Structure 1
Amino acid sequence: MSALYTYSVPVFINGLTMLSTILKTAEEYAEEKKFSTSVLAESRLIADMKPLSYQVQRASDTAKNTLVRVAGTEPVPMADTETTFEELQERIARTIEVLKSVDAAVFAGKEDKVIEMKLGPQQELTFKGEAYITTFALPNFFFHIQTAYAILRKEGVPLGKANYLGPFMASN
């Protein structure tokens, strides 16, 4: 099995599983405290940061776009219009399905594949396959899932480190 697959796809699946689980905990918390989850979906760490819904969308995009950029799979467009927890959960589930459907063999020999991408309107980045995963995709993915976790903690959702790490350690 390709190392590129091993240290990307299963990690993305575990991270998205964690994200789904903490959203369920947040939903239960909102129900217990009698407020709408839409408050949480639009919550931010600070005014100039994007909301929880955006963090879920970017984590999803990072995972599924890694398949496209590194392994050469067909893109799976998602509209980025999710505003409810139900819609966010559906996006996470769909992304996990996409990740599980990819054959590990398509990552073989892609360590030196040249990947060019735009980061905003002015910045162009160039990576080789392995560097893309290790220096961009994984750090970006972790940034967004950790930010989602932090937003929920800021809003009082009873989460701890074990909630974050649990799905990552489950495969050991």
Structure 2
Amino acid sequence: MASLHALAIPPLIRGMQNIAAILKRAQASDLDVATILTSRVHPTMRPFTFQIKSLTDTATHIPSQINPSLPRSPLPDLEKNSSFDTLLSRIAAAVSHLEVIAPEELNEREDTKVKLRVDRRSWDGDVAYVEYVALEFVQMHAHANFWFHVTTAYNLLRAAGLEIGKPDFLNAAGLKTWEMWNE
């Protein structure tokens, strides 16, 4: 079986590198930045900037939720200065934070309890708690939440007119060449 570190961290780094590469393409395009930054899939959903905030927060909080002795990463604030540069800086800071997490800081913690508070507006202010063991938390909650926000950001950019497709979602950062896939 793969180690907890291998299951938890590399996919997050890869996802952030790919969304950053796509965001750089949007930055180089003639698309309206202000429209993209405030775009939403639905009026009740949060805007594009929130998608980047949430995917980076989720990614950087996973290690400290598994191993509370690990610090949470301070990331650039998006509330005061939202721009593609700020979003890219936040993604880069999140990737840097994860790259220094050593395998031994997460491995052998698969059975560590992770308790999450869940606030749901639709529950009329009710607060619930859900508890996982770390392996289950990574597989069933944390990664699902992370990829939800990555996918939403990707879809907002595509809806804005950026010419991207599934290969960009999977490999926009060019971390694996298509020639390597055939080997």
Higher relative helix content: 1
User: After superposition, what is the alpha-carbon deviation per residue over 1:10-48, rounded to whole angstroms, capped at 9, x for unaligned?
Assistant: 10000000110111111122xx35x3x122111111111
Letter in 2 for 1:146: T
Tell me how far 1:52 sits from its aligned partner: 0.9
Aligned to 1:110: 109
Alignment of 1:88-99 (within 5 A): 88-99=87-98
Letter in 2 for 1:142: W
In structure 1, C-alpha distance between the alignment counterparts of 2:60 and 2:135, rounded to whole Å: 16
Letter in 2 for 1:59: L
Alignment of 1:1-172 (within 5 A): 3-29=3-29, 32-33=30-31, 35=32, 37-72=33-68, 73-78=70-75, 79-81=77-79, 82-120=81-119, 122-166=127-171, 167=173, 170=176
Question: Does the CA-based 8 Å contact 1:14-1:168 persist in structure 2?
Answer: no
Question: Does the CA-based 8 Å contact 1:70-1:129 persist in structure 2?
Answer: yes
Tell me how far 1:87 sits from its aligned partner: 0.6
Q: Give 3-state SS (helix, strand or coil) of 1:124's partner.
A: strand
In structure 1, C-alpha distance between the alignment counterparts of 2:98 and 2:2, rounded to whole Å: 15
In structure 1, C-alpha distance between the alignment counterparts of 2:174 and 2:10, rounded to whole Å: 9
In structure 2, C-alpha distance between the alignment counterparts of 1:168 and 1:126, rounded to whole Å: 37
Tell me how far 1:80 sits from its aligned partner: 4.4
In structure 2, C-alpha distance between the alignment counterparts of 1:136 and 1:124, rounded to whole Å: 13
Q: Give 3-state SS (helix, strand or coil) of 1:8's partner.
A: helix
Tell me how far 1:2 sits from its aligned partner: 6.2
Q: Give 3-state SS (helix, strand or coil) of 2:104's partner.
A: helix
Question: Does the CA-based 8 Å contact 1:38-1:85 persist in structure 2?
Answer: no
In structure 1, C-alpha distance between the alignment counterparts of 2:53 and 2:27, rounded to whole Å: 18
In structure 2, C-alpha distance between the alignment counterparts of 1:42 and 1:160, rounded to whole Å: 22
More off after superposition, 10-19 vs 101-110: 101-110
User: After superposition, what is the alpha-carbon deviation per residue over 1:34-87, rounded to whole angstroms, capped at 9, x for unaligned?
Assistant: x3x122111111111111110011110111100110133111233442511111
Tell me how far 1:93 sits from its aligned partner: 0.3
Residues matched between the structures, number: 168
Question: Does the CA-based 8 Å contact 1:66-1:137 persist in structure 2?
Answer: yes
In structure 2, C-alpha distance between the alignment counterparts of 1:119 and 1:85, rounded to whole Å: 30
Question: Which stretches of structure 1, 4 residues or more, deviate above 4 A after TM superposition?
Answer: none
Tell me how far 1:7 sits from its aligned partner: 1.2
In structure 1, C-alpha distance between the alignment counterparts of 2:162 and 2:174, rounded to whole Å: 20
Q: Which runs of 5+ in 1 are unaligned?
A: none
CA RMSD of aligned residues (A): 2.0
In structure 2, C-alpha distance between the alignment counterparts of 1:15 and 1:163, rounded to whole Å: 11
Q: Which runs of 5+ in 2 are unaligned?
A: 120-124
User: After superposition, what is the alpha-carbon deviation per residue over 1:83-117, rounded to whole angstroms, capped at 9, x for unaligned?
Assistant: 11111000000000000011111112111101111
